[in-house]
Amino acid sequence: MRSVSGQTNVDRQVTALRSTALSLVHRKAMFDYLRDREITGRKRHRFFSLFYGSRDYVNAVLAEHSSYVRCSSSYLCTQYLAEHLMEDYALEEPLQMYEQWYGEYFRAFSDGALAETEEEKQAVAPMEVLKPLLKHQLAEARQAILQMPPQPAKHWREVQIRKSTGDTQKMRVLFAVPGRIN
């Protein structure tokens, strides 16, 4: 948030706020993944070793949780600033879509890295193939969000086609968590 307040020009503040919000989405993804996938035991240890290496597991969990709490509160602040102070459209629906796409990419990455058995590896194989496409989609979305004008003349086409019109029905989620209604 210091990068936002350090800017003197409003347009640069908006860009810095957008960049900060995107970074916060990335930084809070680990705990979102752990919560959604309910990873425990040995897999949880392996998961933290992916990002923290051979560092002590307890210290890694504490450091990551501390980071998650700070990121979540900062993310809430960016949402408030964008909506109430700067009235920045880019941090509404486009950022929500980016967060969803990043979650899909992070799940694909983490599920692939944590797969041990042949059955698990076969289950994640289709997503392994899609990872480069998901990464490319994220890069394009990030650029589009950062370059969006403060008051866009038209909405993102993706946002328009995803809006509920009353004659649509809810589709099955690609990454469903067993026992949870999505």
CA–CA gap between residue 21 and residue 182 (Å, rounded): 25
What are the tens digits of pLDDT across the range 136-163?
999 998 898 888 876 654 555 555 556 6
**DSSP-derived secondary structure for 97-140:** HHHHHHHHHHHHHHHHHH--SHHHHHHHHHHHHHHHHHHHHHHH
Predicted TM-score (pTM) of the model is 0.74
What are the tens digits of pLDDT across the range 22-47?
899 999 898 889 888 888 888 888 88
